[in-house]
Amino acid sequence: MAVSELDSDLRAAEVAWDLAPLVYGLAEDGVLGMLDEAERRAVDLAEHRGRVAELDAAGLAALMHELAAIDEEVGRVGSYASLRFAVDTADPANGALLQRVEERATAIHNHLVFFELEWAALPDEQAEALLADDRLEFCRHHLRSARRYRPHLLTEPEEKILSEKAVTGRAAWTRLFSELTSAVTVELDGTTVSLEEGLSRLMSPERGVRRAAAEAVTAGLAPGLRTRAFVFNTLLADKAVDDRLRRYPTWLASMNLANEASDESVEALVEAVRRRFDIPARWYALKARLLGVDRLADYDRMASLASDDEPVGWSEAREIVLDAYGSFSTELADAAGRFFDEAWIDAPVRPGKRPGAFCAYTVPTHHPYLLLNWTSRRRDVLTLAHELGHGIHAYLARHQGVFHQSTPLTLAETASVFGETVTFGRLLDATGDPGARLALLAENLEGQIATVFRQVAMNRFEHLVHTTRREEGELSVDRFGELWTASQAEMLGDAVELTEGYRTWWSYIPHFIGTPGYVYAYAYGQLLALSVYRAYQEQGPGFVPSYLRLLAAGGSMPPEELGALVGVDLADPGFWDGGLAIVEDRLAAAEAAAVAAGRVPLEGPPPA
């Protein structure tokens, strides 16, 4: 491979998605014409207002098919606009299109609000009699689940007002936050790099590089800090108003309802994880010894233990991930291959591109897309495997249609974590050197800690800011920093020093802004996926068909029934402890690897 080709491969420079098929290759006027047609159909459907209670099963099925068709078209246009914006938030044309589409989509939705309200108002006996009809199988769980919102719905005029105002309220503030964080740059070694690149330097084996990167990230976050704090304050207040109007008892109750999880079960998850904060503390104490320091600083937590930090090119990453998926199932590998072959991925780091990584399901009649910010680190390989898991889940569940393709957030991480874990297993099996095995095990364990323990710590931060905002009013930048530090210190204990600069690092995390309450679903999904992976280890190839059935089922049944497809009992109060035991097993494996690599003495194990 020539030097220029090698550089391009390391940067994944040519890996860009093709969004044109999402809107049938139409220009902007044609895209907006799709919304015109969807609105015409919505107006026609609104003639059923006041008559939902009169529908028989055939009539209800016909109405739901038409709703699905409208959702498909609006979903195509909405996905196109949002994905265009994600790769270049600085382009005013992308922002203008996104805003126009959101406004039009809201108007279309408002024509259809009547159905949600009238369906929820039906007597239970009448609703269940309708849902027993096989013609409603394609939307049965969706309709049954929608009735749970009955205590929180308002009148039709009120619902329309809230929907209209959200476009210039919550959605607008969320877009502003995305534009602000996408514009953050970091000065390193005399060069201006993206926030994503700056954060990736925290994985360097060299402490001086990590410290400099952390200081540069803090400096990069400083200029717009007050503005981002104001955005966050505004959205905290907006949610408090919504929760009050809709009669939700706590800030998290609406997310729990959407996740089909009881408040009690979520509290049990959070408390189970908090009781085991000794696991990350134990690892960080060992890592300090491995790095030769008395105590880790926050910028040391993700330091690589590898003897070198060799970059990984895109083509190599593709080969690793497809091999890993193929080792489990050729069907999964074939599906994964389409993402690479058919321009379903956008990978390079670019100015104005949204930080992080995600999978966009789009609509069932199309296909998903993946967004990455490729920095050629080994961690990026596992991120690719993770997001491909999401994509494959969406792809295999596409036949479920718009009402059942997606799962609640609590199950949404199952396929992604599973795919990442399978890929990690292949990397570990191919690594014989004790030092390299230790580095891999450390990376994997740190991924578990980040997804389970750190996400619960971030849930505690959200709890603190939502409740404090409601009790004290607008929060200052310093108050945000106090609450952030308190929630992180609970997890890290005495094992990690939190530097002064770290107090502002809450200010670039999009989940707090766009999806309040989301983060605990990472811990839920991680522990669930680890349990599913253990079942695979125990059963071998015989497990594959049931796993594929789980993915293909999408969100067509309640979480407990989905878990039962792979032998997981989500109703078991001890479920979380079982998943946490798996994480502790990974910690024990890393400790043993540290001894095997000669990095710590046999007679001096780390404190438990």
Instruction: Flag whether pLDDT at 387 surpasses 80.
Output: yes
Q: In whole angstroms, what is the distance from residue 46 CA to residue 43 CA?
A: 5
* Structure tokens given for 315: 């083509």
Tell me the pLDDT tens digit for each residue of 321-363: 999 999 999 999 999 999 999 999 999 999 999 988 999 999 9
Q: What percent of the chain has pLDDT over 70?
A: 98
User: Which residue is listed with tokens 């039709």?
Assistant: 156
Instruction: Flag whether pLDDT at 6 surpasses 90.
Output: no
Domain boundary among 104, 132, 165: 165
Tell me the pLDDT tens digit for each residue of 469-524: 999 999 999 999 999 999 999 999 999 999 999 999 999 999 999 999 999 998 99
Q: Is residue 117 part of a domain?
A: yes
- Bridge partners of 173? none
Q: Is residue 368 part of a domain?
A: yes
75-84, 153-162, 526-535, 544-553: which has the minimum mean pLDDT? Answer: 526-535
Domain count, the chain: 2
pLDDT confidence band for 608 (50 / 70 / 90)? very low
Q: In whole angstroms, what is the distance from residue 406 CA to residue 397 CA?
A: 8
- pLDDT at residue 134 in the model: 97
Q: Is residue 92 part of a domain?
A: yes
SS3 (DSSP) at 475: coil
Please answer whether residues 350 and 87 qualify as being in contact, where contact means their C-beta atoms are separated by less than 8 angstroms.
Answer: yes
Residue 376, CB half-sphere, CA atoms under 13 Å: how many? 15
Q: In whole angstroms, what is the distance from residue 492 CA to residue 449 CA?
A: 11
Please classify residue 149 by burial: count the beta carbons closer than 10 Å to its beta carbon, then call 0-12 exposed, 13-18 middle and 19+ buried: middle
**Three-class DSSP labels, 91-138:** CHHHHHHHHHHHHHHHHHHHHHHHHHHHHHHCCHHHHHHHHCCHHHHH
Q: Is residue 287 part of a domain?
A: no
Mean pLDDT of 37-59: 97
Q: In whole angstroms, what is the distance from residue 287 CA to residue 207 CA?
A: 13
Return the higher-pLDDT residue of 436 and 458.
458
Domain boundary among 165, 190, 213: 165
Instruction: Flag whether pLDDT at 176 surpasses 60.
Output: yes
Instruction: Flag whether pLDDT at 568 surpasses 50.
Output: yes
Q: Is residue 211 part of a domain?
A: no
Instruction: Flag whether pLDDT at 430 surpasses 90.
Output: no
84: part of which helix (H) or strand (E)? helix 57-87
Please classify residue 152 by burial: count the beta carbons closer than 10 Å to its beta carbon, then call 0-12 exposed, 13-18 middle and 19+ buried: middle
- pLDDT at residue 336 in the model: 97
Residue 133, CB half-sphere, CA atoms under 13 Å: how many? 15
Instruction: Flag whether pLDDT at 3 surpasses 70.
Output: no
Tell me the pLDDT tens digit for each residue of 148-157: 999 999 999 9
- pLDDT at residue 309 in the model: 64
Q: In whole angstroms, what is the distance from residue 450 CA to residue 462 CA?
A: 16
**What's the chain's average pLDDT?**
93
Mean pLDDT of 155-168: 95
C-alpha distances in Å from residue 404, one per residue of 391, 398, 422: 15, 9, 26
Write 191-198 long-range contacts (CB < 8 A, 24+).
Answer: 194/349, 194/351, 194/353, 194/355, 194/373, 195/220, 195/221, 195/355, 195/508, 196/349, 196/355, 196/356, 196/373, 196/375, 197/349, 197/375
- pLDDT at residue 606 in the model: 47
In terms of residue numbers, what domain contains 62? 20-165
CATH number at residue 535: 1.10.1370.40
Q: Is residue 125 part of a domain?
A: yes
* Structure tokens given for 82: 């949002």
Q: In whole angstroms, what is the distance from residue 397 CA to residue 553 CA?
A: 6
Q: Is residue 31 part of a domain?
A: yes
SS3 (DSSP) at 376: coil
CATH number at residue 142: 1.20.140.70
Q: Is residue 597 part of a domain?
A: no
Instruction: Give buried/exposed letters for 536-550 (b at 16+ CB in 10 A, else e).
Output: beeeeeebbebbbeb
